[in-house]
Amino acid sequence: MNVDKIAILPGDGIGPEVTREAVKILQTLSEIDSTFQMETKEFNWNSDYYLEHGRMMPEDGLDQLKDFDAILFGAIGDYRVPDSVTIWNLILPIRKHFQQYVNFRPVKLLRGMESPLKQDNPIDFVIIRENSEGEYTDSGGNMFHGETREMAIQNTVMTRQGITQIAEFAYQYAREHGLTKVTNATKSNVVVHAMSFWDRMVEEIADKNKDIAYEKYYIDALAAYFVQRPKSFEVVLASNLFGDILSDLGSAIVGGLGLAPSGNINPSGEFPSMFEAVHGSAPDIAGKGIANPMAQIWSAALMLEHLGRRDLHDAVLTAMEEVLEEKKVLTPDIGGTASTVEIGDVIAGKLKKIMG
Ligand code: NAD
Ligand code: MN
């Protein structure tokens, strides 16, 4: 029997609150379905840990994580520690070291949710964002030649390998999910060096996958189309910066941060992939027990799909949709009065009915 080894990093603020409910759902699944067995280990590497030890994780932290099959990450951020410290010393080293070069973000309007747009179901596409290079590269500098001539340069670094591997992932995902089109987000009309190269590399992969349609839009127009005709997208392929911005827009058109999941994926399987809600530690509501755990439960479902259990992923989404459709047990961010724990309990109950 295969036992999935899952590292749990609850983090700060609402991170532990929503992660507890996601683990509750995983445990429920392993009780219902004897073919899904897991072993979890919790790592309390967060801002408290930093204040005690002067670092976000132990020196051998990455080594401690490397043999897990996946990582479920809460969120970090605490007013006592600069955000740059928490992010650059925990999340980014994990993404980089484990070559999680795919940032995967579904944009799906679940049954029972209403979009702020005049759109009915289905809004259902995925954003596949390059997660390791591009515009988010620590390369550049500031130059001071006297006040009036002060300047800064920030370099974008795009490599053949980096672009090719993310484009290949997008096409492979489309194929495995029976999708028919990949949309490339670009700006090669103005950012002529980096984005023209991006387009050329993406189009080499598109040419090898001619059975799947390819289209290309400039990022500014594409942002407008997300609002005007979100139904027309299936797989949106984007660079690091463009994908970051499109992801938040995507989450806004399907119900907000309480329902936005993500995966940081290492497709080779050589290293663990990491799954986390898009939202942060939400200090304004932390400790009140009212955070919506659905984004984190959905992230755990993405983890299950990554571990080869698309059936369990689908069951979790169906259970969430039933809860959303009934509109009886909802957290305040989506118009209800229920607590974080109640959402976990009601989804677990639905799963027992669906699968039991
Ligand atoms: P945030 O996502 O934490 O909160 C933004 C707003 O959305 C807040 O009003 C919050 O209450 C609400 N919200 C977020 N998640 C919610 C949920 N599950 N249910 C209900 N409401 C929810 O973003 P922020 O306020 O910009 O950042 C707070 C801290 O989180 C900062 O320290 C930031 O650096 C950190 N952060 C961490 C990550 C991460 O760990 N990957 C991501 C984003 C922000
Ligand atoms: Mn972002």
CATH number of residue 142's parent domain = 3.40.718.10
348 falls within a domain: yes
**Is the Cβ atom of 281 under 6 angstroms away from ligand 1?**
yes
What local confidence, expressed as pLDDT, does residue 83 receive? 94
Q: Would you say the CB of residue 65 lies under 6 angstroms from ligand 1?
A: no
**Rounded to 5 degrees, what are φ and ψ at 9?**
-115, 90
- C-beta 294 within 6 A of ligand 1: no
Same domain, 243 and 126: yes
Interval between CA 107 and ligand 2 midpoint (Å): 14
Q: Is residue 163 part of a domain?
A: yes
Q: Which of 254, 271, 306 is the last residue of a domain?
A: 254
- Asked if the model's pLDDT at residue 137 lies above 90, the reply is no
Tell me: do 125 and 229 sit in the same domain: yes
Note the pLDDT of residue 24.
98
On whether the CB atoms of residues 47 and 82 are closer than 8 A, the answer is no
User: Based on the domain organization, do 123 and 206 belong to the same domain?
Assistant: yes
pLDDT band at 138, cuts 50/70/90? Answer: confident
Question: Which tens digit of pLDDT belongs to each residue from 143-183?
Answer: 888 888 899 999 999 999 999 999 999 999 999 999 999 99
Least confident stretch, 133-142, 160-169, 195-204, 334-343: 133-142
Our answer on whether the CB atom of 330 is closer than 6 Å to any ligand 1 atom is no
- Could you say which ligand is closest to the alpha carbon of residue 332? 1
**DSSP characters over 159-223:** -HHHHHHHHHHHHHHHHHTT--EEEEEE-TTTSTTHHHHHHHHHHHHHHTTTTSEEEEEEHHHHH
Atom of ligand 1 nearest to the CA of 11: 40
Q: Which among 227, 231, 199 has a CA at the least distance from the CA of 214?
A: 199
Q: Say what percent of the chain tops pLDDT 90.
A: 92
Average pLDDT over residues 272-283: 96
Task: Answer yes or no: do 267 and 249 share one domain.
Answer: no
Could you tell me the distance, in angstroms and rounded to a whole number, from the CA of residue 217 to the centre of ligand 1? 30
In a domain, 2, yes or no: yes
Q: What is the mean pLDDT of the chain?
A: 96
Q: How far apart are CA 22 and CA 38, in angstroms?
A: 13
Average of per-residue pLDDT across 77-93: 94
d(CA 280, ligand 1 centre) in Å = 3
Q: How confident is the model at residue 220 (pLDDT cuts 50, 70, 90)?
A: very high
Last residue of a domain, one of 199, 223, 254: 254
What average pLDDT does this structure show over 60-71? 98
Residue 1 has pLDDT above 80, yes or no: no
Same domain, 137 and 248: yes
Of 268, 273, 265, which is closest to residue 5 (Cα–Cα)? 273
Tell me which of 281, 320, 337 to substitute to probe ligand 1's pocket, judged by most ligand atoms within 8 Å of the beta carbon.
Answer: 281
Ligand 1 center–CA 256 separation, angstroms: 11
pLDDT at residue 147, rounded to an integer = 82
Atom 37, ligand 1: residue with shortest CA distance: 280
- Please name which of 78, 23, 9 lies closest in space to residue 287, comparing C-alpha atoms: 78
**pLDDT at residue number 118:** 81
Please report the pLDDT score of residue 239 as a whole number.
98
What's the whole-number mean pLDDT along residues 81-99? 94
Last residue of a domain, one of 193, 220, 254: 254
**Same domain, yes or no: 245 and 287:** no
**303 burial level (CB within 10 Å; 0-12, 13-18, 19+):** buried
Residue 159 belongs to what domain range? 115-254
Q: Residue 133 falls within a domain, yes or no?
A: yes
Q: φ, ψ for residue 282 (rounded to 5)?
A: 40, 65
Closest ligand (CA of 13): 1
Q: CB of 280 closer than 6 A to ligand 1?
A: yes
Ligand 1 and 279: CB distance under 6 A: yes
B/e letters for 43-77, b = 16+ CB within 10 Å, e = fewer, are bebbbebbeeeeebbeeebeeebeebbbbbbbbbb
The number of domains in the chain is 2
Structural domain includes residue 16: yes
Give domain status of residue 107, yes or no: no
Ligand located closest to 131 CA: 2
The answer to whether residues 234 and 270 belong to one domain is no
| 125 shares a domain with 245 | yes
Q: What is the mean pLDDT of residues 287-292?
A: 98
Looking at the DSSP bridge assignments, the partners of residue 41 are 7
Does ligand 1 lie within 6 Å of residue 260's CB atom?
no
Does residue 277 share a domain with residue 233?
no
Do 238 and 279 lie in one domain? The reply is no
Tell me the pTM: 0.94
Residue pLDDT, tens place only, 244-265: 999 999 999 998 999 999 999 9
Q: What is the pLDDT of residues 293-308, one digit of tens each?
A: 999 999 999 999 999 9
Residues 87 and 55 in one domain: yes
Q: Average pLDDT of 38-46? A: 98
Q: Which residue has the tokens 């445990």?
A: 27
Ligand showing the shortest atom-to-Cα distance for residue 47: 1
Distance CA 152, CA 46 (A): 33
In a domain, 108, yes or no: no
pLDDT tier, 119 (very low <50, low <70, confident <90, very high otherwise): confident
Residues 19/340, Cβ–Cβ less than 8 Å: no
Q: Is 147 found in the same domain as 49?
A: no
From CA 244, how far away is CA 224, in angstroms rounded? 16
91 close to ligand 1 (CB < 6 Angstrom): yes
Q: How confident is the model at residue 228 (pLDDT cuts 50, 70, 90)?
A: very high
Structure tokens at 225: 């189309």
Ligand 2: centre distance to CA 48 (Å): 24
Residue 235: pLDDT over 90? yes
Taking 80 as the threshold, does the pLDDT of residue 121 lie above it?
A: no
Q: How confident is the model at residue 350 (pLDDT cuts 50, 70, 90)?
A: very high
For residue 356, the model assigns a pLDDT of: 81
d(CA 211, CA 237): 17
Please list the helix, strand and coil fractions of the chain in percent, rounded to the nearest 5, in that order. 45, 20, 35
Whether residue 339 is contained in a domain is answered as yes
pLDDT category of residue 122 using cuts at 50, 70 and 90: confident
